[in-house]
Amino acid sequence: MSTTPSPRRVALVTGASRGIGRAIAKALVRDGLFVVANYVANEAAAQQTLAELGEANAALAKFDVADEAAVDAAVKAIGEQHGRLDVVVNNAAVAVDGLLLRVKTADWHKVLETNLSSAFYLSRAASRLLLKAKESGRIINLTSVVGEMGNAGQVSYVAAKAGLIGLTRTLARELASRGITVNAVSPGFIETDMTQQHVQGEARQKLVAQIPLGRIGAPEDVAEAVSFLASPRASYITGQVLRVNGGLLIG
């Protein structure tokens, strides 16, 4: 039995319980979309996100983005409940830092699965619904300035983020004939739980000194770039990496 499609565009934002993902979910709801907000563990944060979005505008979906079967099931449920999926934002990620010799193989796989394979699983699972969305269809992947520059002590995270850029460019080419755009957003340093230890005290001052705009970014700075790429205003932009980094990397 086919579901009557929701009148509103529907977005799935992974890792929307906190940080940048929550800000993206809020921006997309502001823009008029219904948002399915994914998370994996933090119930309290997820409930807070839902409260901020409003139950009429959003629903929570708890699943591990690194679990292929769970991703397939989550997308199937969206198809059944909403009859459409227009925007996929691959935002969920983890960082397990350490210099090369200390990196455990299990951590390498965890980071690659969570930060890169997840975007492959979700893009593939969502492709049937995105094809139905046609020109409304968007995939937006959260990469990172370090994925473009490299960063000592983050080999798995950087490899995954660099891989996401390749995935973005390839899917942009594959899906362009159907009007679906695929882009990446590349934040610099943004104040969230992920960057807690880097943005305190002296480390913060050193960091800020490297950023031409003279401040650490806010999750909302990144969310506005995603909002734009998800909108009809960006319908002629595909395969691009939009940097939101205060000028930390230019050129």
What residues are annotated to the active site?
157
Number of residues that bind ligand NAP (CB under 6 A): 30
Report if residue 64 touches ligand NAP, rule: CB under 6 A.
yes
Contact pattern from residue 173 through residue 212 relative to ligand NAP, giving x for each residue in contact according to CB under 6 A and a dash for the rest: --------------x-xx-xxxx-----------------
CA distances from 170 to 10, 94, 97, 156 (A): 24, 23, 28, 21
CB of 93 to ligand NAP, least distance (A): 3
Interface of this chain with ligand NAP, residues 41 to 60, rule: CB under 6 A: 41-42, 45
Interface of this chain with ligand NAP, residues 87 to 146, rule: CB under 6 A: 91-94, 114, 142, 144
Backbone angles phi, psi at 161, to 5 degrees: -70, -35
- 69 vs 146: CA distance, rounded Å: 30
Interface of this chain with ligand NAP, residues 147 to 176, rule: CB under 6 A: none
Nearer to ligand NAP, 34 or 189 (CB): 189
Scanning the chain, the segments in alpha helix (DSSP H) are: 19-30, 43-53, 68-82, 105-112, 118-133, 145-149, 155-175, 201-209, 219-230
**Cβ 212 vs Cβ 246: under 8 Å:** yes
Q: Which structure tokens are listed for 221?
A: 């700075």
Q: Which of 11, 12, 13, 21 binds ligand NAP (CB under 6 A)?
A: 21
Report if residue 246 touches ligand NAP, rule: CB under 6 A.
no
- The tokens 């950087």 sit on which residue? 158
Number of alpha carbons in the 13 Å side-chain half-sphere of residue 73: 10
CB of 168 to ligand NAP, least distance (A): 13
Q: Residue 150 burial by CB count (10 A; 0-12/13-18/19+): exposed, middle or buried? A: exposed
Question: CB nearest ligand NAP: which residue?
Answer: 19
Q: By the criterion CB under 6 A, which residues form the site for ligand NAP? A: 14-15, 17-21, 38-42, 45, 64-66, 91-94, 114, 142, 144, 187, 189-190, 192-195
